[in-house]
Amino acid sequence: MPDSILFDPGQTKLREQSKATLKKIAGILKTDISNEMVRIEGHTDSDPIQKQKDKYPSNWELSTARANSVLHYLVDECGISPTRVYVAGFGQFQPISDNKTKAGKAQNRRVEFVIISGGG
């Protein structure tokens, strides 16, 4: 999911508009793949943290904090079992597009859900 759906720029608090989408994902996790582990991955572009450097010294911390926000919403508000989910923060180190353009950076700022078959 692109970060623009989930978060305001540079933030880790979920946007209200994103919660309906996350509820739909939770429904799928509860029914279609109810026994699988889910890794929630945070990714960023390559721009260094500027405004909240005291809170997020690097993109690793920002990407992990965003993934944690999604995890907590799924567990606390949607009833996903905490034994089925975990987070990973990759910062800018797994881009899917070129960080030299605005469009590329937008694609790299994302949260991904990885389904782990076999429970781990």
Cβ contacts of 2-6, under 8 Å, gap ≥ 24: 2/106, 2/107, 2/109, 2/110, 3/44, 3/66, 3/109, 3/110, 3/111, 4/106, 4/109, 6/66, 6/69, 6/70, 6/111
Supply the pTM of this predicted model.
Answer: 0.93
**What domains sit in the chain, N to C, each tagged with a CATH number?**
3-119 (3.30.1330.60)
In percent, how much of the chain has pLDDT > 70? 98
Q: What pLDDT score was predicted for residue 2? A: 84
